[in-house]
Structures are given as C-alpha cells and as structure tokens.
Amino acid sequence: MVAKARVKTFFGNYLFVLPALGMFLTFSVYPFFKVFQLSVYQWDGVMPTMKFVAFSHFKDILFRNPIWWKSVWHGVYITLLALTFQNCLAFTLALLVDRGIKGRKIYRVIFYLPPILSGIVVGLIWNWIYNGDYGLLNYALKSLGLASIQRAWLAEPKTALTSVAIAHMWQGFGWGFIILLAGLQNIPRELYEAARVDGANTWQALRRITIPLMVPVFVLVSILTILGCMQIYALIVATTGGGPGYHTEVPVTRVISSMLGQSQFGYACAMGIVFGLLLLTVSMIQIRISRRIKQE
C-alpha cells in the first residue's frame, strides 16, 4: 500500500513537471540544436532548400573575417570598462547606502532607474547628450571654457565606442548596485562589531571582512556584466548603428547584419555559436579563478 502511494506520488510529481519540461524542450533545447544544424548549411532564410557546407562558415569566421574579430574586441572593450569603472562605482555606492546614509531608500530607487529603461530610450537620451550641435555635454564643456574639445561624440572614430560604453555603464551600474547591496546586507553585523572591538579600522574591516565575503557576489556581478556587455545591441542601434565605419560594431550587430542584411542565416548561426563558446570560455575561466581566490 505504501509502495503504491509512493509510486503514485512519484508519477504525480513528474506529471506536474511535464508541461514545463515540454516548454523547455520546445523553446530552448530544440532551437539550441537547430542553430548547430543551420550553422553547417548555406541558407538564406526563405528557400526550402539548403546547401551543406560543413565547417566552412566557422573557418571563414575564425580566419577570414577581421570585422567579426574587431566587433568582438569592441564588445571586450565595453566589458572591460564596465568591469572596472561601472562595478567600482556600483560597489562604492552600495557601500555608502549600506552604511545607512540619509535618504538611502531614495538613492536605491534612483540608482535602479536606468536599468529598467529600454536600450532604445537610453540611446535616445544619450544621443541628445552627445549631440554635436545642441548636446548637453558640449554645452557643459563650453560653459567650462573647454569649447576646443567639443565634438560630435558619437560620430568620431576616436570617441564613438567609449561614448557608447559610458552610456551602457550608466544604464548597467544599477544592476550591480542592487546585487552588491544585497550581498553587503547579508554579511553578519557581528563580524564588524568584533573587528571593531579588536581595534580594526574601516579600511581593515573592508579588506579583511567585506571583500573576502563578497567574492561570490563579485563573481556573479562580473559574469552578469560580461554577458550583458558582450550582448549589447539596442543601445548601439539607437546611437550609432555600428558606425562610423565599423567603429561601434559589436558581435550581435554582426550576427543580425548577416542574418537580415545579407540573408546568410547559416553564417549568422555559426557566428552565434562562436560567440556563445567565447562567452562560455570566459565565464568558466572566471569561475575557476574566483574559486582559487576563495580557497586562498
């Protein structure tokens, strides 16, 4: 009787999981394998027939497509800026709010506003800030007597990518802030009190308690930053469209351009796989490094 009830519970549980499993298989697993299948075919996305080309798309992407690698570098550049400046700013602000400064609830809301805006809206805001003729930045520079460095920030090869990266950091730092703040608030307060009793100053408490205990949170924030930055798309479309020239092209704009602009679905899928593998490798390396740091 007990065995029968156990079997019933067992199947009952599986039955509840089935719809979710079905959805997962249909909308996640199947497309995942389909992308692999398409990547070895030449297909324009419309014709019912495809031509098998084996790994020639991968060969072309890896060895004969400098623009692709340039776009990857642009993604890496935006990511590096975000990992350093954006996350440092997020951590500093999280520390301040965690210390219980006045009006911390308002700050929490304000800092979290940019991430909930869509990339297109952020792009439009920063387009106005960076505009060469009537932009806020140029106006501020002129007011400060720095008119000589005024320019169309998004249209010049030397400044376009960094300008986009700054806009992206502005949009993204709120995520890091919220996660880091949650991490800080999880650290038991007794540890700080004990350290203070032992004569530790603020800097020592930060170095010996806060930072070591925050390592898992740093890893999480870093991985999210890498994934978020490398997949930047809407902001690029709303600000530069990948230009001037190829100066703000990023991997996703290249994938979209191959797929819709040039009707090369197979090639675009191969790009997607190469890009996915790159991100996977970086994330795995990062997890391994953070584990080592934690052990030390």
Contact, 287 vs 107, CB < 8 A? no
Using rule CB under 8 A, residue 199 touches another protein = no
* Phi, psi of 41, rounded to the nearest 5 degrees: -125, 155
Using rule CB under 8 A, residue 239 touches another protein = yes
Question: How many positions of this chain bind another protein (CB under 8 A)?
Answer: 38
Residue 49, by phi and psi: left (phi above 0), alpha (psi -120 to 50) or beta?
beta
CB of 263 to another protein, least distance (A): 6
Using rule CB under 8 A, residue 283 touches another protein = no
Residue 51, beta-bridge partner list: 42
ω into residue 212 within 30 of 0, thus cis? no
Using rule CB under 8 A, residue 46 touches another protein = yes
Using rule CB under 8 A, residue 42 touches another protein = yes
Interface stretch with another protein, choices 174-182, 197-205, 241-249, 275-283 (CB under 8 A): 241-249
Q: Which residue lies nearer to another protein by CB, 89 or 234?
A: 234
Q: Residues for the chain: how many in total?
A: 296
Using rule CB under 8 A, residue 24 touches another protein = no
| Cα 2 versus chain centre, distance | 51
Using rule CB under 8 A, residue 31 touches another protein = no
Quick one: 12 exposed, middle or buried, by C-beta within 10 A (0-12, 13-18, 19+)?
Answer: exposed
Q: Which one of residues 262, 277, 284, 293 is an interface residue with another protein (CB under 8 A)?
A: 262
Q: Which of 235, 229, 264 is closest to 61 using CA atoms?
A: 264
CB of 262 to another protein, least distance (A): 4
Using rule CB under 8 A, residue 290 touches another protein = no
Percent helix / strand / coil, the chain, rounded to 5: 75, 0, 20
Q: Which one of residues 38, 72, 94, 160 is an interface residue with another protein (CB under 8 A)?
A: 160
Structure tokens at 66: 């400098």
For 42, the 3-state DSSP assignment is strand
Encode burial over 196-213: b for 16+ CB neighbours within 10 A, e otherwise.
eeeebeeeebeeebbeee
Q: Which one of residues 155, 178, 206, 223 is an interface residue with another protein (CB under 8 A)?
A: 155
CB of 173 to another protein, least distance (A): 24
CB of 72 to another protein, least distance (A): 17
Q: Which one of residues 31, 36, 104, 157 is an interface residue with another protein (CB under 8 A)?
A: 157
CB of 156 to another protein, least distance (A): 6
Using rule CB under 8 A, residue 14 touches another protein = yes
Using rule CB under 8 A, residue 21 touches another protein = yes
Using rule CB under 8 A, residue 22 touches another protein = yes
* Phi, psi of 42, rounded to the nearest 5 degrees: -95, 120
